[in-house]
Amino acid sequence: MVVQRAPQGQLTDDEVDRIFRALADRTRRDIVRRTLVGEVSVSALARSYAMSFAAVQKHVAVLEGAGLVTKLPHGRERLVRGNPEAIVRAQVLLDQFEALWRDRVARLDALLAEDPPPTST
């Protein structure tokens, strides 16, 4: 899968879409957890879930497309390794959302701290 990576640490909308989309499935979240702890082959992963090897393969592909996971060849198997940097990228996004809200709160606070406004209370 050819994945467009953003040039300058900036994430494109498509990339953000892929990251959250990839995390919106419990099997994929589980795969991320397991491969963050240590490298696991695709077949080893497949044995853990009540679905076909091909299905797990697809999940890994989705995660790889989102940059949440990388696959490294090791003999005849592919070791899947979770990518903590992608997690951090997602965290940054949520931090930005939270910052917006904090700004609003700050503005409201500033407003209340002002001299009593001309409008009636």
Partner DNA sequence: TCGTTGTACAACCATCGGGTTGTACGTTAG
Partner DNA sequence: CTAACGTACAACCCGATGGTTGTACAACGA
Q: Mapped to the 3 state alphabet, what secondary structure does 1-30 carry? A: CCCCCCCCCCCCHHHHHHHHHHHCCHHHHH
Q: How far is the CB of 44 from DNA (least distance, A)?
A: 7
Contact set for a second copy, span 78-97 (CB under 8 A):
82, 84, 87-88, 90-91, 94-95, 97
Binding of a second copy by 17 (CB under 8 A): yes
Q: Residue 112 CB: number of other CB atoms within 10 A? A: 8
Binding of a second copy by 104 (CB under 8 A): yes
Nearer to a second copy, 24 or 76 (CB): 24
The crossing angle, in degrees rounded to 10, of helices 13-23 and 84-113 is 110
- What residues does 80 pair with on adjacent strands? 40, 71
Contact set for a second copy, span 27-66 (CB under 8 A):
29, 32-33, 36-38
Write each residue from 43 to 82 as x if it is in contact with DNA (CB under 7 A), else as -, in one continuous string: xx-x---xxxxxx-xxx--x--------x---xxxxx---
